[in-house]
């Protein structure tokens, strides 16, 4: 096993060196060279060898997973033309365009894990193609062997080169690390350390801070690791397309490291840490993938002070507040004022009573069962009973926060910065004219900030702070730090 590992290291090393060279080339082009010595051009290769392809094998691995996520394009809608040549895998649309859907997470196609089950297509793997020159693989990706295998219609030259480099240099044989019954040869104790150094900052110590599926069918790391260890290996080595999840290869993780983390992750819970009700409370239609309501919520007409209309009137938070205190809290004044009560007193109600409130039995105009199914109503009940909190000790009426910004910075840099940027400006929730960053939210509405970091953001894989193990004090520290970041 050690021997194999070393071979991989050498392959990775070579690829990394290549990437480093490309990176150096790029930065040298962008910034004036600091030294006076001009770089000497390397001797031209002998005319007989094919030109080397220059690119990023790790990016190729991300493209192999879901290329449109990696390049930020729309997902294709029609089936990939080759799809009709098989009948066993009944998926349609975008899935049929994923390299992995036809060739497998283990790269073995019909000879591997996709040799049976709902993903079976009968298509071959790409293991043998590792021996081909990258230029030949590039040609295959442009349809040289079969015009229906032409991906140049959707991907540009550099994308295809990166994919070719992945095919010849990025694959690995997981057979030494993953057993047929999906267990692994990895060492869970060693994996726990690595998990704590990297993964827990986004996925949480129990692996359940980011839900990959729905409230009805939650899917967390522990489930993926047990269910599809080959997918786990691929994602941990290359990262997650479209998200700044780190690549194990880029961080010089060995295959043993990945297997160790897999072993540890397989011991983690498959149960959620929070109900998901906090996301529904924020904007339920984004969570369940429904259309935003167009008319006003029936209770809306019983107030006149808040002049919003339509979807906003259906947000629990719009009537009951980000601080859960309704008229007795931050929404006791200003443009959001409705005069409606809070839900803090309802934490002591029974599940039956709360369900009765949410399904219209207490007040027919407070019926959410028409738009939210049972699982969602239950999540909201759990949220109201167990997951709301009183932030009064941490957030003052003038919006200042009693927190330690230095401690908050450590948390921000470890978790939030990957997505929001170290200055919090990488994601703009507003628009170019009126930008809104995490710093803006923390300054303008610390109660909203608290809620968002506790539960995440509806419809996005932002981790839940409660699942990350944040106490109220941790959340206050974060708010204090983020209030120091740019607001425009
Ligand atoms: C819809 C299914 C499908 C998808 C999606 C698909 N392929 Fe293929 N691929 C095939 C089939 C079938 C073949 C056999 C090729 C032929 O008919 O020429 C093949 C052949 C190959 C080969 C040559 C294998 C060999 O040993 O010669 C490589 C390499 C390859 N594909 C890579 C990719 C990559 C990279 C992607 C993603 C951009 C991809 N494929 C997407 C079905 C697919
Ligand atoms: C910077 C934050 C971040 C870090 C650090 C991180 N991930 Fe992720 N991970 C994500 C995001 C975001 C997703 C995508 C969720 C989605 O698309 O719904 C994801 C997805 C995944 C998936 C795919 C799940 C699926 O079925 O789609 C796996 C497996 C995974 N991560 C494992 C890990 C492991 C193991 C580590 C540590 C080596 C790690 N991640 C570190 C943010 C992170
Ligand atoms: C349009 C405004 C509005 C929206 C939206 C709204 N509520 Fe209410 N809610 C009220 C009003 C008004 C009452 C008190 C009604 C009464 O006394 O008949 C109430 C009562 C409640 C109560 C009982 C409070 C108590 O102390 O007895 C709970 C719990 C509750 N709402 C939760 C929610 C949840 C969860 C949502 C989101 C699914 C939500 N509400 C959406 C206006 C709203
Ligand atoms: C995996 C990526 C990711 C991580 C990690 C992450 N976020 Fe987010 N966050 C998002 C996305 C995506 C949005 C929604 C952006 C949008 O609506 O345009 C968001 C939205 C938010 C919002 C709400 C903005 C609004 O008003 O609509 C706040 C506040 C926020 N994040 C703070 C944080 C903080 C603090 C952390 C660290 C504890 C964090 N986020 C970690 C991706 C992430």
- pLDDT confidence of residue 350: 97
* Beta-carbon count within 10 A of 1 CB: 11
Question: Measuring from atom 41 of ligand 2, which residue has the nearest CA?
Answer: 199
- The DSSP-derived string for 235-286 is HHHH--TTS-PPPTTTTT--HHHHHHHHHHHTTS--S-SS-SHHHHHHHHHH
Burial class (CB in 10 A: 0-12, 13-18, 19+), 21: exposed
Whole-structure pTM value:
0.90
Cα 139 vs. chain centroid, distance in angstroms?
A: 32
Q: Tell me if residue 401 falls in helix, strand or coil.
A: strand
* Closest to 249 measured CA to CA, from 24, 10, 12: 12
Contact by Cβ (8 Å): 177, 258: yes
What per-residue confidence (pLDDT) applies to 49?
56
Contact 91, 124 (CB under 8 A): no
Which letter does DSSP use for residue 241 in this model?
T
Looking at the CA of residue 79, tell me the nearest atom of ligand 1.
1
What residue's CA is closest to ligand 2, atom 19? 240
Question: Quick check: CB of 232 below 6 Å from ligand 2?
Answer: yes
Name the token pair of 72: 């930020």
Q: What is the largest CA-CA distance in the chain?
A: 84
Q: How far is ligand 4, taken at its centre, from the CA of residue 348, in Å?
A: 31
Using DSSP's 3-state secondary structure scheme, residue 253 falls into coil
CATH T-level fold of 178-265: Cytochrome Bc1 Complex; Chain D, domain 2 (1.10.760)
Is 441's C-beta closer than 6 angstroms to any atom of ligand 4?
Answer: yes
Nearest protein CA to atom 38 of ligand 3, as residue? 316
In the block, residue with structure tokens 């004022």: 337
pLDDT at residue 33, as a whole number: 39
Q: How far is the CA of 104 from the centre of ligand 1 (A)?
A: 11
Say yes or no: CB of residue 462 within 6 Å of ligand 4: yes
210 Cα nearest atom in ligand 4 = 1
Rounded alpha-carbon distances, angstroms, from residue 429 to 147, 394, 438, 463 = 42, 25, 8, 17
CB 328 within 8 A of CB 342: yes
Among 386, 398, 437, which Cα is nearest to 281's? Answer: 386
Ligand 1 neighbour 286 (Cβ under 6 A)? no
Residue where the block lists tokens 């980000």: 322
Domains of the chain, residue spans: 1-20+54-74+94-172, 178-265, 277-321+343-387, 405-482
Find the ligand nearest to 203 CA: 2
Question: 129 in ligand 1 pocket by Cβ < 6 Å?
Answer: yes
Is there a contact between 239 and 62 (Cβ–Cβ < 8 Å)?
yes
What pLDDT sits at residue 48?
Answer: 53
Q: Is 363 in the pocket of ligand 3 (CB under 6 A)?
A: yes
Q: Ligand 4 within 6 A of 419 CB?
A: yes
Q: Under CATH, what is the fold of the domain 405-482?
A: Cytochrome Bc1 Complex; Chain D, domain 2 (1.10.760)
Which residue of 276, 300, 320 sits with most ligand 3 atoms within 8 Å of its CB, as the best mutation to test the pocket? Answer: 320
Ligand 4 contact, 405 CB (< 6 A): no
Closest CA to 271 of 211, 359, 346, 336: 211
Looking at the CA of residue 225, tell me the nearest atom of ligand 2: 29
CA–CA distance, 455 with 458 (Å, rounded to integer): 9
Give distance in angstroms: CA of 444 to centre of ligand 3. 25
pLDDT per residue, tens digit, the chain (488 aa), is 333 333 333 333 344 444 443 443 333 333 433 444 444 555 555 555 556 899 999 999 999 999 999 999 999 999 999 999 999 999 999 999 999 999 999 999 999 999 999 999 999 999 999 999 999 999 999 999 999 999 999 999 999 999 999 999 999 999 999 999 999 999 999 999 999 999 999 999 999 999 999 999 999 999 999 999 999 999 999 999 999 999 999 999 999 999 999 999 999 999 999 999 999 999 999 999 999 999 999 999 999 999 999 999 999 999 999 999 999 999 999 999 999 999 999 999 999 999 999 999 999 999 999 999 999 999 999 999 999 999 999 999 999 999 999 999 999 999 999 999 999 999 999 999 999 999 999 999 999 999 999 999 999 999 999 999 999 999 999 999 999 999 99
Residue 401 forms beta bridges with which residues? 395
Structure tokens at 292: 């935003």
Q: How far is the CA of 199 from the centre of ligand 2 (A)?
A: 8
Please give the Cα distance from 61 to 253 (Å, whole number).
15
């Amino acid at each position: 096993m050690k021997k194999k590992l070393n071979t991989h290291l050498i392959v990775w090393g070579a690829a990394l060196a290549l990437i480093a060279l490309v990176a150096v080339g790029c930065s040298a082009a962008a910034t004036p060279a600091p030294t006076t010595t001009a770089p000497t051009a390397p001797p031209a290769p002998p005319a007989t060898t094919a030109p080397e392809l220059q690119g990023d094998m790790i990016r190729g691995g991300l493209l192999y997973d879901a290329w449109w996520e990696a390049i930020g394009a729309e997902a294709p809608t029609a089936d990939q033309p080759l799809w009709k040549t098989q009948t066993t895998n009944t998926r349609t649309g975008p899935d049929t365009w994923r390299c992995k859907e036809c060739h497998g997470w283990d790269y073995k196609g019909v000879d591997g894990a996709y040799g049976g089950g709902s993903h079976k297509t009968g298509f071959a793997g790409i293991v043998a193609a590792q021996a081909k020159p990258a230029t030949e693989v590039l040609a295959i990706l442009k349809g040289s062997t079969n015009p229906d295998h032409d991906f140049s219609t959707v991907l540009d030259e550099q994308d295809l080169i990166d994919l070719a480099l992945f095919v010849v240099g990025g694959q690995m044989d997981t057979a030494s690390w993953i057993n047929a019954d999906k267990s692994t040869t990895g060492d869970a104790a060693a994996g726990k350390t690595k998990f704590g150094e990297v993964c827990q900052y986004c996925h949480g110590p129990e692996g359940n801070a980011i839900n990959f599926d729905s409230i009805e069918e939650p899917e967390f790391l522990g489930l993926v690791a047990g269910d599809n260890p080959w997918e786990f290996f691929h994602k941990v080595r290359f990262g997650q397309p479209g998200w700044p999840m780190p690549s194990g290869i880029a961080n010089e993780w060995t295959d043993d490291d990945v297997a160790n983390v897999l072993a540890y992750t397989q011991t983690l819970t498959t149960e959620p840490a929070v109900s998901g009700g906090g996301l529904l409370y924020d904007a339920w239609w984004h969570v369940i993938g429904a259309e935003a309501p167009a008319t006003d919520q029936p209770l809306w007409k019983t107030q006149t002070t808040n002049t919003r209309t339509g979807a906003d009137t259906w947000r629990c938070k719009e009537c009951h507040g980000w601080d859960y205190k309704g008229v007795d809290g931050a929404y006791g004044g200003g443009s959001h004022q409705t005069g409606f009560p809070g839900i803090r007193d309802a934490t002591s109600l029974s599940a039956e009573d709360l369900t009765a409130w949410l399904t219209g039995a207490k007040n027919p105009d407070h019926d959410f069962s028409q738009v939210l199914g049972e699982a969602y109503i239950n999540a909201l009940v759990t949220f109201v009973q167990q997951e709301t909190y009183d932030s009064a000790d941490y957030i003052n009426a003038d919006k200042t926060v009693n927190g330690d910004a230095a401690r908050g910075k450590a948390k921000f840099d470890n978790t939030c910065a990957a997505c929001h940027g170290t200055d919090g400006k990488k994601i703009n929730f507003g628009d170019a004219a009126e930008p809104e960053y995490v710093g803006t939210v923390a300054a303008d509405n610390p109660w909203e900030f608290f809620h968002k970091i506790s539960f995440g953001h509806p419809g996005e894989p932002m981790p839940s702070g409660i699942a990350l193990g944040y106490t109220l004090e941790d959340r206050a520290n974060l708010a204090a730090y983020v209030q120091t970041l740019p607001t425009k």
